Structure 1
């Protein structure tokens, strides 16, 4: 008979872990009976980093709260008042200023001019900027000087640019009128005709900002993968086909960035409009109309605040819409 206590060769007896043995014996070594480990508090280094962060960020946060958010909240409050600038008293009228803006001919005209000005300045600056960037991307002598010359108007003062272009557009003594007379043509009444005044400021604004678009597009062109472009060339794609089918889609992040920044800048354009058309006849965009209502002789501070609030809402809506819908067509490599 086989001894049951004897281990058969080749058989392996299972080993019992000490913790398992204690558990089987009902001992106190069970992990469920151990007291929970206490979490340590914030370390000294973490507290120091937090204090350093607060010391550096607190002044900026206070300044932003005082000079950005507080004026915004006060402006919303003022927009609901019938308040004459300089008066110590004001009457609460609720949404009457907003209703007046959307029902008056002046308010709707301001919206129309703002839309035309923004659309033409953004589109003109981006299209011309892209064409100039393509020219500046060619390896030719003197392209560094050309790049500086193209970008220079963007960094110049809007007041100085406006004064120079006033001399150019002067119908009697301006450079443009002299050129037109040499061609046997008459000079348009840039300052008397509201439509021509709008055309004039659009031309100047596009000229001033196309250098910014050109330099940004130039950076995008120089960052394109040359392997992709060479592969398209080997496949038989011509220069135009490579640009339309390869380069332009790869430039979509640059185009998206420029679309947002130039739109915001155009909606807030003021200095050129104020210098070249002081009365705002034909060029009264929303921001310029807000200035005219408060400081242009009307002294309607409450109505001016209403236009500012509406412009702020338009800026927010356009930015969010571009991020939500336009960015879907952006191709990130």
Structure 2
């Protein structure tokens, strides 16, 4: 006769409901969270989500702010392809993004490398270089910048002193883009601070080991600084690209609200403003806004997809 041994069955005790005091405390915490989150939710719904949904609807309508919107389907989007000013706006904006963004980041990284060294009055110089980013977006700075580059302005006087032809940059269609790129480069303080924080996180032992192996400054920069700083470079590149697509204030002030001379400062957002608030073609402007949103979204996806090939994070070696 064979005896079969079976393992005893373990009976899990039933889960007891939480005491009433605990349940009450949990709901009190949830209510408190919604109370503090409430103002943000209201602001998000009324000032962000609501206008976005409304503009998406208006993009398919003919709306002039004075009459009821009239549904026109995809007419506004089809009209974009036949609008020469729209094509010019994309050309000007793309030139600014492609040239201005890398130059601004290069200036920010160069100054951050200098300020990363230890010397007297380091804090003063860091604050001084960051200061233009605090005031650079204001209307007053754009007015001052325009005055610098006008006929008989300081830049024109310097040109004539060194034997260059007289004439300001503001009225020259070939020089307005370099002038605006110089303005955005002058406002490199924001990415500079982020670069500086990233440089502080690179272990000094890596540079010491490279020095023992005979690596020079250029070799250290290419083999250590850039790879270790690549997440910060990616962050700044993405942020500055999005900001460059949205340039408006400086272009509006310097061009006098016209996009001139010869449409050389007709940026995308400036042309959108013309259509929506000067010509009262709000449906057409809404269509432009959504095209810009989709373009920025596609570029963002491309950035993230490509980052796997050149952005290196800590711990990637073990994957």
Shorter-chain-normalised TM-score: which range? 0.7 to 0.9
* 1:276-321 deviation line (CA, Å, top 9, x unaligned): 112012112211111111223x221111111111111122222222
**Alignment match, 2:90:** 111
Deviation at 1:224, TM superposition (A): 0.8
Show structure 2 runs of 5+ residues with no match.
Answer: 315-319
Q: Does 1:213 align with 2:214?
A: no
Bigger Cα Rg: 1
* 1:37-86 deviation line (CA, Å, top 9, x unaligned): 256368333222222222222331122111101100101111111222x4
2:133–2:189 CA contact under 8 A, matched in 1: yes
What is the 5 A alignment of 1:34-183? Answer: 37-38=14-15, 40=17, 43-84=23-64, 86-156=65-135, 157-171=137-151, 173-183=152-162
Equivalent position SS for 2:265: coil
**Alignment match, 2:164:** 185
Count of aligned residue pairs for this structure pair: 303
**Alignment match, 1:26:** none
1:256–1:327 CA contact under 8 A, matched in 2: no
1:256–1:326 CA contact under 8 A, matched in 2: yes
Q: Does 1:323 align with 2:304?
A: yes
**Alignment match, 2:283:** 302
Q: Does 1:283 align with 2:260?
A: no
> Cα distance 1:39–1:75, how it changes in 2: closer, same or farther (>3 A)?
farther
Deviation at 1:323, TM superposition (A): 2.0
Equivalent position SS for 1:45: helix
2: distance between equivalents of 1:203 and 1:68? 32
**Alignment match, 1:253:** 231
Deviation at 1:328, TM superposition (A): 4.4
> Cα distance 1:170–1:47, how it changes in 2: closer, same or farther (>3 A)?
same
**Alignment match, 1:197:** 176
**Alignment match, 2:252:** 274
* 1:6-40 deviation line (CA, Å, top 9, x unaligned): xxxxxxxx9x99x95xxxxxxxxx65xx6982563
Deviation at 1:94, TM superposition (A): 1.0
Compute the TM-score of the two structures, normalised by the length of structure 1. Answer: 0.84
**Alignment match, 2:317:** none
* 1:144-193 deviation line (CA, Å, top 9, x unaligned): 2221111111000431211111111012x200011111112124452333
> Cα distance 1:35–1:142, how it changes in 2: closer, same or farther (>3 A)?
closer
1:188–1:196 CA contact under 8 A, matched in 2: no
Show structure 1 runs of 5+ residues with no match.
Answer: 1-13, 21-29
1:82–1:91 CA contact under 8 A, matched in 2: yes
2: distance between equivalents of 1:126 and 1:327? 20
2: distance between equivalents of 1:35 and 1:306? 61
The runs of 4+ residues in structure 1 deviating greater than 6 Å are none
Pairing partner for 1:235 from 202, 205, 213:
213
